[in-house]
Homo-oligomer: A and B are copies of this chain.
């Protein structure tokens, strides 16, 4: 492997380690237990699951990996806080969406030539990117990986593994 390939593969491995950890935490909870709050008065695990599925789905266009699978999640799990709406999506369906979105991000980013990770992401202008080359796809991918662990730490407080 070239150094560029090693840099890219290491970042992808961190992502897959984190998403596997999350999926394991979630699978330790029943659908009913997804209704638990991670701490009294805080978000339910159900909401956090939808929130992560929505943010990971957003990675697809943001990183040039393809079309979104579930844009309908944004309103329920990003734009509005927990308990704004009755739960419109069954827990089993939400789990499936999360797993599918993660798998699509992983396979698409594995197929990307490593240097393409250093290109600008969709939400930065060409002018700004010329001045700030660290506003690249890799930065977004790494921050999303960190964001996933932020919420994994919260789910861990009620999960059984």
Residues of chain A having any CB pair with chain B under 8 Å = 1, 3-4, 6-11, 13-14, 17-18, 38-40, 42, 114-115, 117-118, 133-134, 136, 138-139, 142-143, 145-147, 149-154, 156-158
Contact = CB atoms under 8 A, between A and B. Distances in A.
A142 B138 CA distance: 13
A138 B6 CA distance: 10
9 contacts: A6-B118, A6-B133, A7-B7, A10-B118, A11-B142, A14-B139, A14-B146, A147-B149, A154-B156
A149 B142 contact: no
Chain multiplicity (copies): 2
Q: Which 7 A-B pairs have the closest CB atoms?
A: A153-B153, A150-B153, A7-B7, A39-B39, A14-B142, A146-B149, A149-B149
B7 A118 contact: yes
Given A4-B7, A11-B11, A150-B150, 10 more contacts: A4-B4, A6-B138, A10-B136, A10-B139, A14-B146, A38-B157, A142-B145, A146-B146, A150-B156, A154-B154
